[in-house]
Structure 1
C-alpha cells in the first residue's frame, strides 16, 4: 500500500473475513488467488488508478464499512472520503492528470492506512468486486414483477388458445315483411258509413276498419234467420209429437241464438222467436187433441164391433143348445112313429124345427164372421191412424230438415255479407294507404278500400352478401339481425335463421355483385324496459350470419399466417 511515514499498529482484518463469508453465502464472486502486485498496480509506485467506476465505487463503500466496523472504530476525515469519491466518479479526472490523481490517491491512502493494515491490492480489488456484485443484484420487487408478467402472459396465451368466439359473415339489407301488401275490399259493396282508421295506424287481426251499409243483404239475412227459427222450433214440436211427449223449447232465446247463429240477434228477432215458439206450442196442442179424438172414435167403433161379435156368439151358443134338444126330441119321436106310438104329424113338426134351428145357426155363423171382420177392421183403422199420423210427422220432419239445411247455407252466405258490412283487418299490420274516405260514398263490389302492410309473427329480411363471403353460408344458420334505427348496444337485435340463398349473383345499380339471402326472424319487434319497439318494412338492418367459431389465438395468428403464405412470392 502507499507509504505515509509512521503507521499505526495493524488492525486485524476482521471485516474482510466477514465480507468473504457473506459473499460466499450470497453466491457472489469469490476472491481471486493472491498474486504478487505488478509495479503498475501498486499505489506506492505512483501508477494511476485505472479501475472501472463500479469497482472503485464498491471499494469506497467497502472502505466506509470498514471504517465503521473496525475494532479501532476510527473514522477518517470526511473530506478525504469526499476526495476519494471525486476520484472514483471521475469528476476531477478531467481536470487533473494521472500523476496528480496518483498523488491525491497516495495522500488519501496514507490517511486511511491505519484501518487497512494487512490488506493487499488484490484484497482491495476483491472487496470492490463484492460490493459491485451487491449493487448489481436484482431487487426482490423486480423479481416478483418479472414473475407476475411471465405468469400473466402465459395465462393469456392459454386463454387465447382455448377461448372461442363467433365467426360471422356481415351483410346489410332491409326488412321486407313476411307477406305481400294486403288489399282490403268488400264483395257486395254498399254505402260507406264510417272509416275508423287512418294512414299509418297499426291494427290487429279482426279489428273493424270501416263500416258499410247494405240493407238488401241485411234484410235477406233477417228473413233467413226467421225461417230458420221457424223450422228449428217446428222440428222440436214434431219430434215431441213423434215421441208422444211434450216439446221443450229454449228458455234463454238470446243464448240459444248466439250459439246457433254464431252472432248476436237483435231484440226484434228475439220477439219473433218467442212468437214462433208460442205458435208451435199451439199447433202441438191442437194436433194432439185432434189425434186423440180420432183415435177415440176408432177405438169406440172397434169396441162396438167387438160387442156385436160377442152378442152373436152368445146367441149362437143358445141356438146350438136348442138345436141339440130338438134333435133329441126328433130322434125319440122317430122311434115312436116307427112303432105307431107317436103322431107322424108332430114328428114332422119336430123335424122342421131342427131344420129351422140349423138354418139360424148357419146364418148366425155368417153374421159373426162379418162382425169379427168389422171388429178387426176397426182395430186396423186405429193402427193405421197412428201410423199415418207418425208418417205425416216423419215426412214433415224430413221436409223441415231439408229446408233448414238450405237455410243454413243461405245464412252462411248472408251472414258473410252482413259481416262484411264491417270491414275487418285480415292480419295484424300497418295501414299503408286508404283509397276511399268519403262518408256516404258508394263502395262498389270488389273495389279496393285500403292497403295493409302485414306485421306477421315473423319478419322477412333480405340482405346482400359479398361473393367472397358466401362459401360457408348454409340455410338454417343462426343470424343476429341488428336494426340500424335502434342502437344495438341498448336495444339488442333480433334472432333469426338463414332461410334462402340466391342461386347466382345479382348485379347492383353501381355494378357490384352480391348474393341475395333471405332471413326469417323469430319476432317482429324489439323490447326494452317493457316497451315494445315495432319494426316496420323498409328499415335498414345489419345481419351477422354465424358460420362457426374460432379461438382468439387463431384470429391473432391469421394475419401472420396469411403474411407468411404471401411473403417472398412476389415476382
Structure 2
C-alpha cells in the first residue's frame, strides 16, 4: 500500500513538471500574429482558420435576443386597463326632499313660508319635545361631576407619587365643560387636598411607629453587647472563684454568689435577645402594614378612578344622545331649494313622527347617467370605479370627454329588447359641461352617452395569451 501511494505521488509530480514546462513555452506554440493582407497569401484552409470571424452577426443575434427579452419582460410587467362599455343617457340626480320630524313634538318656531328659497343647512323650524331640555341638563351635570371626580383622583395619584399636594389640572375638556363652574372646581380641589393630607398623616404615623421600633431595636442591641461583655467578665470571675474555692481560699458561699451573678447576667441576656426578636417581628409587621397601606390606598384610588372613568364615558354617551335629540328639534334644509307644501303654520301645534311638514324642491339638479350593463360584464363592475363618459352628440376626439364614478348597480336584471337581461347602473358625473374651441358646452338631460367603466387592469402578456388559453380550454372539453 505504501509503494502504491508513493508511485501515485511520483506520477502527480511528473505531471506537474510537464505542465510547468509546457506553460512556460505556451507562447512559442501559438501561431505567429499576422496582418489581414498576410492571411490572403496562406492556403485556403489556413486562411479560413486564421482569419477572425466577423462580429456583426454575433451582435445582431445579441440585439435580437435582448429585444425579445425586453419585450417579454414588458409584456409581463406592463398593464393595460380593462374597460366595460355601457350605453346610457343623461338624467337628473336629485329629487324633492320631504321634511319630517323624528318624534312627536310641539312647534316652537316656523322660520320659512311657501316659495322661500333656502340654502343647505338653513334652519327651517324649531320644535320642542317633552323632556329634551331636562335630559340634556341632567346629563350635563352628571358629566361635570364625573369629570371633576376624575380630575381629583388623577391629581391624588400624581400627588402620592411625587409627594406633593395635589393640583387639579384644567385640561381642554375641563375648560369646555366648566368654563363657569369655579365653585365646584374649588370644592373638588379642597377635597383632594384633604384626602392627600389625611393619607400623608397616616403615612407619617406609621413611619414614626416604624422608626420608634428601630430605635428600640438599637437600644436592645446595645444592651445585648453590654450584657455579653458582662457575661464574659462574670464567667471569668466564676472560674477564678472556682479555683480559689478548690484551694480553700474562698468559701463555698462566695463561690455560689458569683455563680448566681453569672446566671442573672445570662438570664438578662436571654431576655434581651428574646425582646430583640419580638421587636424585629414587630418592625417587619409594621413595615408590612405600611406597604399594605400604601398599596391599598393606591389600589383603591385606581379602582375608583376606573369606575369614575367608565361612568364618565357612559355619561358622555348619554349627553351626546341628549344633545343629538336636542339637535333633532331643529329642522334644517338638506339641500338648496324652494319651500313647498308647508303643512303647519301654528305655533304650539303638534307634529307627529314621520309627518310630512314641508317639501324642499331642488333649485338645480346635478346630472347623472343611467346606463345598462350586460350580464357578461356586471360581475366586474363595482360602485366607486372610475368612468370615462363620451357624449355621442360631440365626438370626443374634438370635444373631449367627462369623467365620472359608478354610484350604484341594481340588484335585479331588467329585460331589454335588444340586449336581453341587463343591469341598470347609475354613474355620477364630475362635471356637467364640455370645453371645446374656447367655449363651454352644457350637457342636457336625455343625451346618449357611452360610458367606459374601468373595471381593473391586466398584463399585456395575459391579454396576448388570452385567446390561446380560451382555445386550449375549449378544445380540451371536446370529445
State how 1:377-396 maps to structure 2 within 5 Å. Answer: 377-396=285-304
Match status 1:226 vs 2:141:
yes
Q: Are 2:257 and 1:337 equivalent residues in the alignment?
A: no
Hey, what does 1:362 align to over in structure 2?
270
- Contact residue 136 and residue 319 of structure 2 kept, 8 A: yes
Q: Answer yes or no: is 1:440 the counterpart of 2:342.
A: no
How far apart are the structure 1 equivalents of 2:429 and 2:414?
18
1:205 pairs with 74, 98, 120, which one? 120
CA contact (8 A) 1:481 1:495 kept: no
Matched residue, 1:263: none
State the partner residue of 1:323. Answer: 231
Offset from partner CA, 1:376-420 (integer Å, 9 cap, x none): 222222222221211111011011011112112212211110111
Structure 2 unmatched runs, 5+: 1-87, 372-386, 395-400, 419-423, 435-441, 452-479
**Cα distance between partner residues in 1 of 2:295 and 2:405:** 73
The TM-score, its normalising length taken from structure 1, stands at 0.50
By how many angstroms is 1:286 displaced?
Answer: 0.6
SS in 2 for 1:426: coil
Describe how 1:443-458 pairs up with structure 2 within 5 A.
443-454=351-362, 458=366
1:209 Cα offset (Å): 1.6
Partners of 2:427 and 2:244 lie apart in 1 by 135
Cross-structure match for 2:153:
238
Larger Rg: 1
CA contact (8 A) 1:189 1:212 kept: no
Q: 1:358 to 1:197 in 2, by over 3 A?
A: same
Whether the 8 Å CA contact 2:90–2:447 is kept in 1: the answer is: no
Q: Secondary structure at the match of 1:451?
A: strand
**In structure 1, distance between residues paired with 2:174 and 2:261:** 85
- Aligned partner of 1:214 in structure 2 is 129
Aligned to 1:20: none
Contact 2:113 2:339 in 1 (8 A): yes
Deviation, structure 1 residue 314: 1.4
| Matching of residue 249 in structure 1 with residue 189 in structure 2 | no
Once the two structures are superposed, the pairs formed by residues 421-500 of structure 1 within 5 Å of their partners are 421-454=329-362, 458-460=366-368, 477-479=389-391
Give the alignment partner of residue 419 of structure 1, picking from 315, 321, 327: 327
- The answer to whether 1:504 aligns with 2:427 is no
- Which of 182, 185, 196 is the aligned partner of 2:100? 185
Q: 1:546 to 1:331 in 2, by over 3 A?
A: closer
Partner of 1:52: none
Change (3 A) 1:518 1:407: closer
Give 1:179 shift: 3.6
The aligned counterpart of 2:50 is: none
RMSD: 4.0
1:543 paired with 2:458, answer no
How many residues are paired up? 325
1:414-466 per-residue CA deviation (whole Å, 9 max, x = no partner) reads: 11101111112334444343222222111223333223345688324779xxx
The worse-fitting range, judged by mean Cα deviation, of 314-323 and 237-246 is: 237-246
Q: TM-score, normalised on structure 2?
A: 0.58
Higher relative contact order (CA 8 A, sep 6+): 2
- The aligned residue for residue 290 of structure 1 is 198
Give the alignment partner of residue 183 of structure 2, picking from 256, 275, 283. 275
2:109 counterpart residue number: 194
Please say if residues 299 and 382 of structure 1, whose CA atoms lie closer than 8 Å, have aligned partners that are also in contact: yes
Name which of 341, 347, 366 aligns with 2:255. 347
Sort the Cα spacing of 1:327 and 1:359 in 2 relative to 1 into closer, same or farther, 3 A. same
Q: 1:497 to 1:322 in 2, by over 3 A?
A: closer
2:388–2:402 CA contact under 8 A, matched in 1: no
Unaligned runs of 5+ in 1: 1-170, 258-268, 464-474, 483-493, 507-515, 527-533, 548-571
Report the Cα distance in structure 2 between the residues aligned to 1:205 and 1:329, rounded to whole angstroms.
Answer: 113
Q: What residue in structure 2 maps to residue 13 of structure 1?
A: none
Q: 1-side partners of 2:140 and 2:225: how far apart?
A: 70
How far apart are residue 294 of structure 1 and its match? 1.0
Deviation track 1:340-359 (CA, whole Å, cap 9, x = no partner) reads: 22211101111111111111
User: Do the aligned partners of 2:142 and 2:315 also contact (CA within 8 Å) in 1?
Assistant: yes
Relative to structure 1, the CA distance from residue 457 to residue 274 in structure 2 (aligned partners, 3 Å threshold; closer, same or farther) is: farther
Instruction: Give the SS at the match of 2:124.
Output: strand
2:248 and 2:95 map into 1 onto residues whose CA distance is 133
Q: Map 1:509-520 to 2 at 5 A.
A: none
Q: Offset at 1:318?
A: 1.5
Query: Is residue 495–residue 522 contact of structure 1 (8 Å, CA) maintained in 2?
Result: yes
In the alignment, is residue 307 of structure 1 matched against residue 202 of structure 2?
A: no
**In structure 1, what is the Cα distance between the partners aligned to 2:343 and 2:388?**
40
